[in-house]
Amino acid sequence: MDLLNTLLDKGLRRELPTRDEALAVLATSDDELLDVVAAAGKVRRQWFGRRVKLNYLVNLKSGLCPEDCSYCSQRLGSKAEILKYTWLKPDQASEAAAAGLAGGAKRVCLVASGRGPTDRDVDRVSDTIKAIKDQNEGVEVCACLGLLSDGQAERLRDAGADAYNHNLNTSESTYGDITTTHTYADRVDTVQKAHAAGLSACSGLIAGMGESDEDLVDVVYALRALDPDSVPVNFLIPFEGTPLAKEWNLTPQRCLRILAMVRFVCPDVEVRIAGGREVHLRTMQPLALHLANSIFLGDYLTSEGQAGKADLDMIADAGFEVEGTGEVTLPEHRATAHAGCGSHAGADAGTDAGADAGADAGCGSHAGGGCGPCGSADREPPRKEPVSEARTDLVSVRRRGAGTDLAPNA
């Protein structure tokens, strides 16, 4: 298949595909799916071998968020029956993190609901980072606290944080349909603040919210322009009690195509399968390891994942190995220079990050959500994905771990 040969060659050279090529990945047929996985898998192995990095989430403060993000069970007005609690104390958070680290995780992700941290919140998280690092040599800590104000990223870095996560989630042109209490530009600004402070930037997307193929390509190209070191790919968990509870748009095949497209666009970046993999990939999860080099171990913020031992067995059975704490995740050129997946255009791009990425691809500005085909005029129209069966039986609200008296899943 000429498309896959072209994408493979570009991935091995860290060259940006055209938008038309990225869209074509999403439009491949089920008959071509294993070929897509094989080609993207070669790119993954070129830069990350057969290593799988394990990450572990600790929800420091759950629920009661003033933001109205439609996908989130912790949002303003959410009727989802999730755990709600205020800030964990540093020793409680460190105890929660220890379970994931004992299970093989090398990065702990500290997450708190809310628009963004106050200065007092930054102090709390700084104390938590110190507590975790004092007890676990070599652990990486990523903070995810919402929108950052000036100087807060630097304070987190000085406290020992290694990375900061803030996802773009969806395309700029559709962002207002998902969230109204803050803007896409606010999110871009926070990723840039993390970059500027010397933190490893982590920013990704949520698939399955009713977006088009063009939206998915737009957000991934915008991410490449922002140049994060890691890109989490979340698959919407349609929680009852949220506005997107009826959005069951993903099939396992669709999820694999999305992961492959992300790998081709950002070949040397840590691509992480994040929330929703058990719900939407289901028995196809092992195939996804050929595309992504990173997963979350155990449970998520407000939902339960599969058993930690099942994650470890899956990795081993698929012929992969857990990345050790002494191993460097990123390829040498990124680890030493924070360069490679994009040109740091995002540092100056502001809300035009998506447009700049499209321009790099050679097909002009895409800030409005797409410019039509850039390649062959006789390409078939995009194939409509089948509607996925609602699998509410696979959505389990977290009732263990942080904020409870029950042992965590790790």
| Active-site residue, from 19, 75, 109, 144 | 109
Locate 244 and state its tokens.
């997107």
Give 62's DSSP letter.
B
Q: Is 341 a catalytic residue?
A: no
A 10 A CB-CB count for 333 gives 13
Encoded amino acid at 19, one letter: R
Which member of 75, 124, 202, 334 is catalytic?
202
Clarify whether 144 is annotated catalytic.
no
Instruction: Exactly one of 65, 144, 255, 341 is catalytic; name it.
Output: 65
Query: Hey, how many other C-beta atoms are within 10 angstroms of the C-beta on 368?
Result: 13
Q: 142 an active-site residue?
A: yes
Q: Which of 72, 255, 266, 341 is catalytic?
A: 72
What single-letter amino acid sits at 327? E
Q: Report how far residue 395's alpha carbon sits from residue 397's, in angstroms, rounded to the nearest whole number.
A: 7
Let me know if 363 is a catalytic residue.
no
Q: Which contacts of 134-140 are long-range, i.e. CB under 8 A and separated by 24 or more positions?
A: 135/94, 135/98, 136/97, 136/98, 136/101, 138/106, 138/325, 138/326, 139/97, 139/101, 139/106, 139/107, 139/108, 139/325, 140/106, 140/107, 140/108
Q: Which of 14, 44, 142, 277 is catalytic?
A: 142
Residues 6+ positions from 258 with CB-CB distance below 8 Å: 26, 207, 216, 233
> Which is the catalytic residue, given 19, 69, 75, 341?
69
Cα–Cα nearest to 223, from 158, 167, 282, 142: 167
**Rounded Cα distance, 9 and 15, in Å:** 8
Residue among 44, 124, 224, 272 flagged as catalytic:
272
**Integer Cα distance of 406 and 300 in angstroms:** 15
Give me the active site residues, please. 65, 69, 72, 109, 142, 202, 272
